[in-house]
Structure 1
């Protein structure tokens, strides 16, 4: 097995929205804001090469939305999906599976693109797209809180093209040995049945944190995003996962942290806190 970080871009989000009820004087210690109160956010995806499977976890925002839409998110830098795949030695047509932690636009928007005639089509024409039945129903029949995050043009074409597949739903938090070759932790605080991949790699477990832990600044339990639909449930899920991570020396791959790629955590008197930080090169090479 080989792992490759795939940087699909950078953008900015409102710091207050990212930290909910936490005062700005606290969250700016780890996530400094610009003059518009915006903080740096990454869209760091992960590519798993395992035998004849090439699995991409999440796909970023993509590039098919309007200039007005992207204007809300202040995209910056020159990273892109194609550029990053090429640097790793691959093309999007090589991808066999696209695993989506959840179907918010900044995690799955790059899965669907327009063709030259402005028809929607899979951006990874040879891949299966993986979700789960509970989350798919949640996303395709969205509540009023999340309706702006579940964009039908990002989601429905996956089913219409016949490339959609669903993982099983576990009886407990963790689905062991899924069809894709990694374990999955299911979390419901951010959105229904978000999936956190747990990849066993060279004696380590690499956990793709998605929106369960957006940045290092979110390690304290009360530091919960305003975007979460069930914040009290997020508190419980974060506590259980972070205790597990500290107990078992898990390596946490940070999808959205623009400045920290992989971290480990430890138990302290204040709860689970940061232990070490690593680059992807430190762990994957």
Structure 2
């Protein structure tokens, strides 16, 4: 097995939204804001090469939305999925599976693109299966008013229309072991219904793709929960459970949204689970 970070692009989000009720005087220590209160955010995806299977976890925002839409998110940097895939010797048509932790636009938008004449949409990975789970799919396709702006039909329905959509099994408990993708999956419901956190066994290490369960290093304290979460009290419990597992078992936490820290480990302290070490992807995947 080989792992590759795939950078789908960088953007900015409001720091207050990213940290909910936590005062700026606290969260700005780890996530400094610009003059518009925006903080740096990454869309760092992960590519798993395992035999003949090439699985891409999440796909970023994509490029099919309007200039007005992207203007809300202050895109920065030059990273794209194509550049990152090509730098590692791959192209879109090589991808066999696209695993989406959840269907918010910044995690799955890159899965679907305009067709050639811009009359409709098509899969951006024509040879891939697109993986979600049945509960989350139902949640995303019949969205509540809180999340409706994050579940965009043009990102979601073409997966089903293409015939390339597949669902993972659901767990008996929190963790689905030995999923169809070849890794364990931790299911979390605080951010959105049945968000999936891949747990990949790699050279004796467990690499956990943290998605929105732990967006950045700054979110390590248990009460530091995003304003975007639909069930913040549930997020508290899920974060605490997962971070204790991570500290107990020395998991390596791959941070999708932290623009400046790629992989971390955590440890138990008197204040709870806190940062232990910071690594680059090259440190772990070389």
Identify the residue that residue 51 of structure 2 maps to in structure 1: 51
Structure 2 residue ranges without an equivalent (≥5): none
Structure 2 residue aligned with 1:128: 129
- The answer to whether 1:114 aligns with 2:114 is yes
SS in 2 for 1:16: helix
Q: Secondary structure at the match of 1:106?
A: helix
Aligned partners of 2:146, 2:14: CA distance in 1, in Å? 17
Alignment partners' CA distance in 2, 1:140 and 1:171: 24
CA displacement, residues 213-248 of structure 1 (integer Å, 9 cap, x when unaligned): 000000000000000000000000000000000000
| Aligned equivalents of 1:222, 1:201: Cα separation in 2 | 31
Matches within 5 A, 1:113-262: 113-118=113-118, 119-262=120-263
Report deviation, 1:171: 1.0
Q: CA offsets, 1:51-71, max 9 Å, x none?
A: 010000000000000000000
TM-score, normalized by length of structure 2?
A: 0.99
| 1:3 corresponds to 2:3 | yes
User: Partners of 2:116 and 2:175 in 1: how far apart?
Assistant: 42
**Which residue number in structure 2 is paired with residue 96 of structure 1?**
96
Q: CA deviation at 1:115?
A: 1.5
Aligned to 1:276, what secondary structure does the other structure show?
strand
Whole-angstrom distance in 1 between the partners of 2:222 and 2:250: 19
Aligned to 1:67: 67
What is the CA–CA distance in structure 1 between the aligned matches of 2:78 and 2:179, rounded to whole Å? 34
Count residues with an aligned counterpart.
Answer: 285
What are the ranges of 5 or more consecutive residues in structure 1 without an aligned counterpart?
Answer: none
Matched residue, 2:14:
14
Q: Which residue of 1 aligns with 2:27?
A: 27
* Divergent runs of 4+, >3 A: none
Query: Cα deviation per residue 1:229-278 (whole Å; 9 max; x = unaligned)?
Result: 00000000000000000000000000000000000000000000000000
**What secondary structure is seen at the aligned counterpart in 2 of 1:129?**
strand
State the Cα deviation string for residues 153-190 of structure 1 (Å, max 9, x = none): 00000000000000000111000000100000000000
Deviation at 1:117, TM superposition (A): 1.3
Equivalent-residue separation in structure 2 for 1:226 and 1:191 (angstroms): 12
**Between 5-14 and 116-125, the greater mean CA deviation after superposition:** 116-125
Query: In the alignment, does 2:262 pair up with 1:284?
Result: no
Q: Secondary structure at the match of 2:245?
A: helix
The alignment's TM-score, normalised by the length of structure 1, stands at 1.00
